[in-house]
Amino acid sequence: MLSLEEHARRFATRAHAAQDQRRKYTNDPYIIHPAAVVEQVRLVLPEDEPALAAAWLHDTVEDTDTTLADIESHFGPEVARLVEMLTNPPTPEEMNRAQRKRLHFQHTAHACSRAQTIKLADIIDNTRELLHFDPDFARVYLLEKRLQLDSMTLGDARLRQQAQQLVEQGITQLMRPPYNVPAAWFDKRATHYLAPQA
């Protein structure tokens, strides 16, 4: 009989492959990203099989035809709840990127410590080589991750420190040649993500 984690690995592999989903910059099969997230989570939650299963499944509801009901049917309510905390809620089409991200940050901020730990691992893997592949997008993404990390207080402290270091190192690099993004750009852009004052 398959373990819960192995079942999740196979399910996620099939779900992402069915969409022919690939990593944006390398064209690798998408499943290498959940696999990397799982290995980060395993370092800090080695015996938490529901969390490891959720790490495999964390992008299935957002990026494939899988629903949360499917997750609960296959893996039970505990895994489904973790995946729900890792799935960005739907937002109105008229919202701009900053408004959508603000809602996503609020959603993550209310996630439990296990879900935030998985999210930290997700940020680590997504941040590692982004500057190399796409410096223009990196400045937006890294700023967003800085803001999101500020609101995530419950995840594993070691992974949070690693994620924060990667984000801050990336922003520091962007402020140096050859990118030369002014510090003021990050400060001004950050205000777009603040909730409007009543």
pLDDT digits (tens, 9 = 90+) for 163-193: 999 999 999 999 999 999 999 999 999 999 9
- For the question of residue 63 being annotated catalytic, the response is yes
pLDDT value at residue 195: 66
- For the question of residue 122 being annotated catalytic, the response is no
pLDDT value at residue 24: 85
Rounded to the nearest 5 degrees, what angle is found at the Cα of 123, between the Cα atoms of 35 and 17? 35
Catalytic residue among 6, 63, 78, 134: 63
Catalytic residue among 62, 65, 129, 136: 62
The Cα–Cα gap between 7 and 54 comes to: 11
Which residue numbers in the chain have pLDDT < 70? 195-198
- Judge residue 109's burial from the number of C-beta atoms within 10 Å of its C-beta, 0-12 exposed, 13-18 middle, 19 or more buried: middle
Whether the full predicted model's pTM is greater than 0.85, yes or no, is yes
b/e code 44-76 from CB counts within 10 Å (16+ = b): bbeebbbbbbbbbbbbbbeebebeeebbbebbe
pLDDT value at residue 42: 98
pLDDT value at residue 198: 45
Q: Which residue has the tokens 């980060």?
A: 40
Q: How many CA atoms lie within 13 A of 85 on its CB side?
A: 23
Give the count of beta carbons closer than 10 Å to the beta carbon of residue 34: 24
- 1-87 in CATH: which number? 1.10.3210.10
